[in-house]
Amino acid sequence: MSDVVNDVRNKRAVAVWLLICCALVYAMVVLGGVTRLTGSGLSIVNWDPVMGVLPPLNAQQWQDTFELYQQSPEFQKINSHMSVEDFKGIFWLEFFHRLLGRTIGLVFLAPFLFFLMTGKIRRAETPKYLLMFVLGGLQGVLGWYMVKSGLVNNPHVSQYRLTAHLLAAFAIYAYMFWVALGLLFPAAGDKPHALYGRTLALMTLATITVMSGGFVAGLKAGLAFNTFPLMNGKWIPDQLFALQPAWSNLFDNLVTVQFNHRVLAITTLAAVIAYWISARGKSMPARLALGVNALLAVTALQVILGISTLVMRVPVHLAATHQAVAVLVFTALLYLCHGFRRGGA
């Protein structure tokens, strides 16, 4: 009996650790959004995973760092008016964004080694935790690959690389959260719940909507057509297929990118409402019923935030909150997918 109790305690301890890591990744996504929205992402023009943990510590180091920035296209084409003091304002956000990434690595690695040495994580389960760590490291490399795209000629990061960086963060978050849920809520049955298929479909739709939001951010498409529901007085705006080949409009045409994000967002809200109505007649545990209600609430909030961000021309506080709530929608769907896949009992 004591072995069973100890096993439950060990699983709970590992799950809590993973959830703390998830919370830090969540903060990383939000801070990354603020960094982008304030134009701070290109302020540090080199990548030093070890020594980069230290900021400039005296006036000469600040001057040296600023001179590196002065060689970048962003300074030369956009911020040539900046002084060293102005530069500090954008430097610190990017610095803390990178520092948080390093902190996540330490918060993950140290407890992992402790749990492994004390037997709380079984040797057979080690590969999936090592995969989490490797994915986190690759995410850092991908972040630098994204930044590099804005350090050559055009002082804007590639919308493709930005979206890949965003989706990778969501994937790492999802993987850790899913494993944590498996530790907290063991399988309840062999067959998935009747709502599992619909929940998985909703998760797919929400992920595509997040991806489209990445392209909106990358192209700064939210600064155009700041009315809702019409775009430039029309339901279907002109220039939707202005680029050739036609498929490139999905990723390079800011008109099409914003239009698609609007359609996907409203479609997601309509699908969630229909899902909530259908779920009301289904038998499920109280925790999953609460999850269904939470999904409806955060999705409605997300659409309200998205519309408000658009019509107010992307104020930082609203846009950052919009990105933060997107993760909450994603989390609610992950929670429900996991619960209904395990039988929902």
Q: For a pLDDT cut of 90, what percent of the chain falls above it?
A: 88
What is the reported pLDDT for 161?
A: 96
Which band of pLDDT confidence, cut at 50, 70 and 90, is reported for residue 221?
very high
What is the reported pLDDT for 16?
A: 97
**Quick one: which of 236, 222, 238 has its CA closest to 312?**
222
Beta bridge partners of residue 231, listed in sequence order: 234
Domain range annotation of the chain: 1-184, 189-345
Burial 172-204 (b: 16+ CB within 10 A, else e): bbbbbbebbbebbbeeeeeebbebbebbbebbe
pLDDT at 1 over 60: no
Over residues 243-260, the pLDDT tens digits come to 999 999 999 999 999 999
What is the reported pLDDT for 186?
A: 81
Rounded to 10 degrees, the C-alpha dihedral 296/300/302/307 comes to 160
Over residues 171-206, the pLDDT tens digits come to 999 999 999 999 999 876 678 999 999 999 999 999
What is the reported pLDDT for 48?
A: 84
pLDDT at 338 over 70: yes
The CA distance from 95 to 246, in Å, is 39
Over residues 106-123, the pLDDT tens digits come to 999 999 999 999 999 998
User: Dmax over Cα atoms in the chain, in whole Å?
Assistant: 70
Q: Is 320 exposed, middle or buried (0-12, 13-18, 19+ CB in 10 A)?
A: buried
What is the reported pLDDT for 345?
A: 54
pLDDT at 163 over 70: yes
pLDDT at 213 over 70: yes
What is the reported pLDDT for 281?
A: 84
What is the reported pLDDT for 188?
A: 65
* Count of residues in the chain: 345
What is the reported pLDDT for 2?
A: 72
What is the reported pLDDT for 329?
A: 98
* 327 to 12, 196, 266: CA distances (angstroms): 23, 20, 17
What is the reported pLDDT for 49?
A: 81
* Higher-confidence position of 151 and 5: 151
Q: Give long-range contacts, CB 8 A cutoff, 24+ apart: 321-324.
A: 323/29, 323/30, 323/33, 323/213, 324/26, 324/29, 324/30, 324/33
What is the reported pLDDT for 269?
A: 98
What is the reported pLDDT for 135?
A: 96
What is the reported pLDDT for 70?
A: 95
What is the reported pLDDT for 51?
A: 66
User: Is the CB of residue 261 less than 8 Å from the CB of residue 216?
Assistant: yes
Q: For a pLDDT cut of 70, what percent of the chain falls above it?
A: 98
* 100 to 17, 32, 65, 136: CA distances (angstroms): 17, 10, 20, 12
* Look-up of token digits 């900046």: 82
Beta bridge partners of residue 234, listed in sequence order: 231
What is the reported pLDDT for 42?
A: 93
User: 3-state class of 48 per DSSP?
Assistant: coil
What average pLDDT score do residues 224-235 get? 94
Over residues 261-299, the pLDDT tens digits come to 999 999 999 999 999 999 998 899 999 999 999 999 999
Over residues 46-89, the pLDDT tens digits come to 988 876 789 999 999 999 999 999 999 999 999 999 999 999 99
Which band of pLDDT confidence, cut at 50, 70 and 90, is reported for residue 150?
very high
DSSP string computed for 288-304: HHHHHHHHHHHHHHHHH
